[in-house]
Amino acid sequence: MNQASANQQRLMARAKAVIPGGVSSPVRAFGSVGGTPVFVARAEGNRVFDIDGTDYVDLVCSWGPALLGHAHPTVVGAVQAAAAQGLSFGAPTSAEVDLATLIRERVPAAERVRFVSTGTEATMTAIRLARGATDRPLIVKFAGLYHGHSDALLAAAGSGLATAGLPGSAGVTEATAAETIVLPYNDVAALEETFVTHGERVAAVITEAVPANMGVVPPAPGFNEAIRRVTTEHGALMIFDEVMTGFRVGPAGWWGVEAGVENPTYTPDIFTFGKVVGGGMPLAALGGRAGIMELLAPVGPVYQAGTLSGNPLATAAGIATLQLADDHVYDLVNRRSKEVQDAVGAALTQAGVPHVLQNAGNLFSVFFRDEPVRNYDDAKAQDTAAFAAFFHAMLDGGVALPPSAFEAWFLSAAHDDEAMQRISDALPAAAAAAAAAR
């Protein structure tokens, strides 16, 4: 395991004295890989720099937002210009209109867009909206999928809960948990059976466009379409969580990649966006059919609000990011993603480490097991000790991976040949460490 510097260890001790676990979000704590988290001082392009000035090629990219690379000068410039005009007004701005328009141009099915500050708020609002629209209580979600940390959505959730091996969260009442039905992913029969029994009481099925919070588990061909068909048959809504995939896997997110924008093979009722759409600032959104979205206050009876919603600095970052994220950017990220997958696969094969690489567009992750992963049970059956050894050896080699076996890896348009070389150079020792840890 890499040895954190005395500096880092001292800071972690100070952090733990004032912040639970020393972190503002659990996965950052290195809980499942061991050791002391890297405290980051700054980031630029494909690199993050820790408080000692050591740099790492970053494959976390802030868990997705840094599609263009860190501190892109145009995005930073846009935020600085916005900041000079005032940080927050609590009043509507033209920038919100511009960003909502950019979103609708890319995802025409998002006819109306409401801005919030986090992905958690976006999915929480989507669920309230679905219940308000249908006057039904139940929500269906899939095991291992993560939709933020609102009470209704924490059952069998991925991301930090998967990393920590938790079934759910303390503090969620039985009454709330009972209104969420959890099904295995990629299982159309289970979905159909649930609707036969509970169909008249289900407000919505919420799904990640591509599950990427238990590692990347692509939807089986036709699975998202099946969700659309079953929900339509029973008068329930389909909520498509693109917080991770939206504007990252393509200009119109996974919906654009899989369903197509022109004559889509399926269209969800409500989309949720986050991460890339805020360009690294706290901004997220939900969008969908006008008839549903206009049930939101002040037009309709479903209440939702936010002091900092549509914040001018965040909208400026989002606009600059979407304007820069053209076909060239997506081609570049797709290509780099493929290069990293090939290099990782070759190194692990060479070292004799069982592994499966899974991808959906440029999103990918590595499972340390020899069978494909179709659902959460499969994802849990991987060698997390091998991952921990691999992770720390990569860190020693100057490459920062997500500190969990249950997360996607992220590339950006700023990952250049030099970054690729650093990754290639670090891989043999990391693969050997994984082989030794099995």
- Name the site residues for ligand PLP (rule: CB under 6 A): 118-120, 123, 146-148, 208, 213, 241, 243-244, 274, 284
Beta-bridge partners for 410: none
- The catalytic position among 187, 241, 269, 383 is 241
Output 78 or 408, the one with its CB closest to ligand PLP: 408
Q: At closest approach, how far in Å is the CB of 115 from ligand PLP?
A: 13
Establish how many alpha carbons lie within 13 A of residue 174's alpha carbon, considering only the half-sphere containing its beta carbon: 0
The CB-of-62 to ligand PLP minimum distance in angstroms stands at 10
Find the catalytic residue in 269, 275, 376, 378. 275
Cβ of residue 243: shortest distance to ligand PLP, in angstroms? 4
Instruction: Extract the tokens encoding 144.
Output: 């291992």
Nearer to ligand PLP, 36 or 159 (CB): 159
Instruction: For ligand PLP, give the closer residue by CB, 277 or 389.
Output: 277
| Cα–Cα distance list, 37 to 33, 40, 206 (Å) | 10, 9, 32
Burial 229-255 (b: 16+ CB within 10 A, else e): bbbeebebbbbbbbbbbbbbbbbbbbb
Which residue reads 């033209």 in tokens? Answer: 94
Strand 284-288's sheet: what is its strand order?
Answer: 112-116, 284-288, 270-273, 237-242, 202-208, 138-142, 180-183
How, if at all, do strands 112-116 and 284-288 pair?
antiparallel
User: For this structure, is 275 an active site residue?
Assistant: yes
Contact 180, 151 (CB under 8 A): no
Nearest residue relative to ligand PLP (C-beta): 119
CB 212 within 8 A of CB 242: no
Nearer to ligand PLP, 19 or 81 (CB): 19
C-beta of 8 vs 362, nearer to ligand PLP? 362
User: Smallest distance from the beta carbon of 411 to ligand PLP, in angstroms?
Assistant: 16
**Residue bearing tokens 């979205």:** 293
Nearest residue (CB) to ligand PLP, 277 versus 419: 277
**25 vs 197, which CB is nearer to ligand PLP?**
25
CA of residue 320 relative to chain centroid, distance:
20
CB of 390 to ligand PLP, least distance (A): 23
Half-sphere exposure for 389 (CA within 13 Å, toward CB): 17
Q: Which residue has the tokens 């990252």?
A: 248
Active site residue 378: no
- Quick one: which H or E segment has residue 114? strand 112-116
The region, left, alpha or beta by phi > 0 then psi within -120 to 50, assigned to residue 423 is alpha
Shortest Å distance, C-beta 299 to ligand PLP: 25
- Catalytic residue chosen out of the listed positions 56, 146, 330, 376: 146
Asked about 146 being catalytic, the answer comes back as yes
CB of 68 to ligand PLP, least distance (A): 18
Q: Which of 206, 204, 259, 271 is nearest to 234 (CA)?
A: 204
Catalytic residue ranges: 146, 241, 275
